Amino acid sequence: MTNRAFNFNAGPAALPLEVLQQAQQEFIDYAGAGMSIMEMSHRSSIFEEVNDGAQSLLRELFDIPGSYKILFLQGGASTQFAMIPMNLLTPGKVASFVHTGSWAEKAYKEAKLFGETAIAATSEAHKFNRIPSLSDIQIPANAAYLHITSNETIEGTQFQAFPKTGNVTLIGDMSSDILSRPVDVSQFGLIYAGAQKNLGPSGVTIVIAREDLVSDSPKTIPTMLRYDTHVKNNSLYNTPPSFAVYLVGLMLKWVQAKGGVAAIEQYNRDKTKLIYDTIDQSGGFYRGFADADSRSLMNITFRLGSEELEKQFVKESELQGFVGLKGHRSVGGLRASTYNAVPLESCKALAEFMADFQKRNG
């Protein structure tokens, strides 16, 4: 019997047991090739099938229009913080940001290295416990793009709807909520996500971009940092993170088998309801960090009456097989990350543990 933890890690995060088991089964001999997927050329027809298969299944599941390119890159979402302004912040234009918290801040700071930036809206005055109201977003007239962080992983807030930006390109960092709910991709010029929260293991970053934005990058940028390099070469310009791409493919098949993205969203709502209800019905013993209408389906952030009690909560939870419930070091408190692959059973167990902990300490 495998002993699987109740894994609430923020990233890298839980993967479905079925996906791990399939990878295990194929680990030594992939598709009768007599070698692991890790041991074969990325120019082989077997790997090309893996690469193309993952792309086309992502296109199907996330309903990505044909006029968009899908890239599998390296360097994490953090490299996109720089690649986006390098490629898309043209002289005389302004990179504008909705400042929602820790990850938006990092994207914003990186863009400052390359040109003019502006904050189009911020919830800093509320310690980032909410997403700014869409009507408060002020996009500068000469904006190159508006960048949003669809889900703030650390604060536990999530856009419930996306700003309408007219002619201005909307860019979304969806690292922590890609494929957790249906999205109208055509509202965005570019979407990016590190895979290690909702899509697979670390090592590969997904970029989904409207073709015209990524097919003719400035020639002054290093080859590897130009989008058009990767577009022209189907993400095979240099050696790709082949095993990570393969696992993303398995994850996508798992999402498909679950009924697709809309079914996954319902599953995520059922999962998080168990925990948010426990918080809301605790009479103030547990205090949710995020405003109710900005709450994330991916990262549930909450606090207890004292840091001492929070420490005790973490300690006792670990003894009972829970992993990853300590909040991010920058904000403290507690956090349960409930990405796509986290099973309902883990959330049920956590809700029960929380109720029991309250009974003993309330």
Residue ranges binding ligand PLP (CB under 6 A): 11, 76-78, 103, 149, 153, 173, 175-176, 194
Q: Are 185 and 64 in contact (CB under 8 A)?
A: yes
HEC per residue, 71-83: EEECCHHHHHHHH
DSSP-derived 3-state class of residue 343: coil
Shortest gap between Cβ of 192 and ligand PLP (angstroms)?
9
* CB 85, min distance to ligand PLP, A: 15
Q: Which is nearer to ligand PLP, 40 or 298 (CB)?
A: 298
Q: Which is nearer to ligand PLP, 175 or 235 (CB)?
A: 175
- SS3 track for 123-138: CHHHCCCCCCCHHHCC
Nearer to ligand PLP, 9 or 229 (CB): 9
What is the residue whose two structure tokens read 């970053």? Answer: 205
Both structure tokens of 274:
């168990």
Q: Smallest distance, Å, CB 33 to ligand PLP?
A: 30
Catalytic residue annotation = 103, 173, 197
CB of 175 to ligand PLP, least distance (A): 3
CA–CA distance, 207 with 71 (Å, rounded to integer) = 5
Residue with smaller CB distance to ligand PLP, 153 or 165: 153
Amino acid at the residue 238: N
Least distance in angstroms from the C-beta of 152 to ligand PLP? 7
Tell me the C-alpha distance between 23 and 57, whole Å: 18
Provide the H-helix boundaries in the chain: 17-25, 45-61, 76-88, 102-112, 211-214, 227-232, 242-257, 261-280, 307-319, 344-361
Residue 23 tokens, joined: 């990878």
User: Rounded distance, CA 333 to CA 327, Å?
Assistant: 5
The smaller minimum CB distance to ligand PLP, of residues 85 and 194, is found at 194
Cα radius of gyration (the chain): 21
